[in-house]
Amino acid sequence: MSVLAHVFEAAGIATIVLSSVREVAVKVAPPRALHCEFPLGRPLGKPSDPEFQHDLLARAFALLDASSGPVLVDHPEVIEADDQPVACALPPRFDPSLPPAVDEARGLRKAYDRALARRGVTSVGRAVSADEVPHAIGVLHAIANGAEWTAAGIPGGNTVAVCHDIRTYYEEAALELVDGPLPGGRAMEDWFFEQTEAGKTMLGARAAIRDAGAKFAIWFYMTPGQR
């Protein structure tokens, strides 16, 4: 974003960056930056809080009053990403003949459908549709349990895209099931990887693919790096 700020400014447009990594803003020095120490992926800080967002935008637009730059101002509030899983119920075991993660994914389908109906859009679909998510989890389950990953039939042949779709399916469904306040920055990630069968299955498949000698980019980006 800081690079693009220079590019847009050179085209004659005044720019304001909502910085997310302060060191980058210092080094690249865009003309005007409001550094926001907020959860990554939430540059305006608080979802569904128009008052907070308007206050932030007012601080950002105030940077246009400077007569020279670079200008780097810190937003006064720091928002830490949650490090506790969100409280979200999981469906009970229904079909014991299925791998637990496949059964679980099927059980979340109604919640996913409610989310889709409410929002009208989904970010599932990069490699598989919602209909195909249980099958995709079954493939990861097989890999985690010893199947050769190159012959397991990963949908679309893209490990990262499949994992994106599975995790997004779960997270969009879970937003319909959350009990309590809106989840913070990492709360849903923690829930997915620490409490769901699908998350554990994904981690298992990732480890198996890594241990089989696959290229770094094939296995590493299946989950967040710190996992």
Question: Which of positions 27-66 make contact with another protein (CB under 8 A)?
Answer: 27-31, 39-48, 50, 53-54, 57, 60-61, 64
Q: Which residue of 69, 91, 153, 155 would you call a contact of another protein, by CB under 8 A?
A: 69
Angle, nearest 10°, between helix axes 133-144 and 197-211?
A: 50
209: its two tokens: 């693919």
Q: By C-beta, is 18 or 133 nearer to another protein?
A: 18
Buried b / exposed e along 32-49 (16+ C-beta atoms within 10 A) = bbbbbbbbeeeebbbeee
Rounded Cα gap, residues 51 and 67, in angstroms: 28
Amino acid at 177: L
Q: By C-beta, is 122 or 152 nearer to another protein?
A: 122
Is 90 an interacting residue with respect to another protein (CB under 8 A)?
A: no
Is 180 an interacting residue with respect to another protein (CB under 8 A)?
A: no
Q: Which residue of 104, 105, 168, 218 would you call a contact of another protein, by CB under 8 A?
A: 168
Q: What angle do CA 71, 77, 80 make, to 5 degrees?
A: 115
Interface region with another protein, contact rule CB under 8 A, candidates 87-95, 98-106, 145-153, 163-171: 163-171
Q: Which residue of 77, 94, 95, 119 would you call a contact of another protein, by CB under 8 A?
A: 119
23: its two tokens: 């060191």
Q: What is residue 132's DSSP assignment?
A: G
Is 155 an interacting residue with respect to another protein (CB under 8 A)?
A: no
Is 6 an interacting residue with respect to another protein (CB under 8 A)?
A: yes
Instruction: Tell which residue, 106, 123, 117, 101, has the closest CA to residue 202.
Output: 101
Rounded least distance, CB 212 to another protein, Å: 20
